[in-house]
Amino acid sequence: MAKQSNGKKIPAIRIKNKRATFDYEIIDKYMAGIVLTGTEIKSIRAGKASLVDTFCFIHNGEMWVKNMYIAEYADGTYNNHATRRDRKLLLNKKEIQSLRNDTLSPGYTIVPLQLFIDNKGRAKLDIALCRGKKEFDKRASIREREDKRELDRFVKRF
């Protein structure tokens, strides 16, 4: 838990894309800021967001995240935000250019992994350059996960 300036503890917000590590092999990770409106950041702080079926793309030298769900703020007015609009990501030009060059290769994509609030109260998005897994890779991931669970259960008994 993080502390506010008045000493109160605020819960750490970490919204994860659980399917990303199952469907994709992660090549490289980046941390990006997000351009949000006032009601969007309030909804994220309330934990009302989802990264299911989201992806990133580059348009006119800028990085965007598409299809990210942020619920409408409950106490918002008629100025409330659209729930699934495209949102701009804040990265350096070198990082964007590097990602652009990498995604030109077939099979590579940019996927959001985690949405969180940093220590200064800003929303950040962990993104990754990924390559899609084949069906046999997914089966191997499931097998590894089940083996780890069995080992943990065995160790817990002794």
pLDDT of 158 higher than 90 = no
Identify the domain containing residue 31 by its residue range: 13-132
Q: What is the DSSP letter of 31?
A: E
φ/ψ bin of 124: left (φ > 0), alpha (ψ from -120 to 50), beta (otherwise): beta
Q: Helix, strand or coil for residue 88? A: strand
Report residue 108 as tokens.
């590579």
Q: What is the mean pLDDT of the chain?
A: 87
Residue 65 within any structural domain of the chain = yes
Say if CB 83 and CB 72 are below 8 A apart: yes
Q: How many structural domains compose the chain?
A: 1
Global model pTM greater than 0.85: no
d(CA 137, CA 158) in angstroms, rounded, equals 32
Which CATH number does the domain housing residue 27 bear? 2.40.280.10
Instruction: Confirm whether 158 is domain-assigned.
Output: no
pLDDT at 10 over 80: no
Please write the tens of the pLDDT for every residue from 39-83: 888 889 888 999 999 999 999 999 999 999 998 887 777 778 888
- pLDDT tens, residue by residue, 25-44: 999 999 999 999 888 888 89
Q: Of 82, 54, 88, 47, which Cα lies nearest the Cα of 68?
A: 54
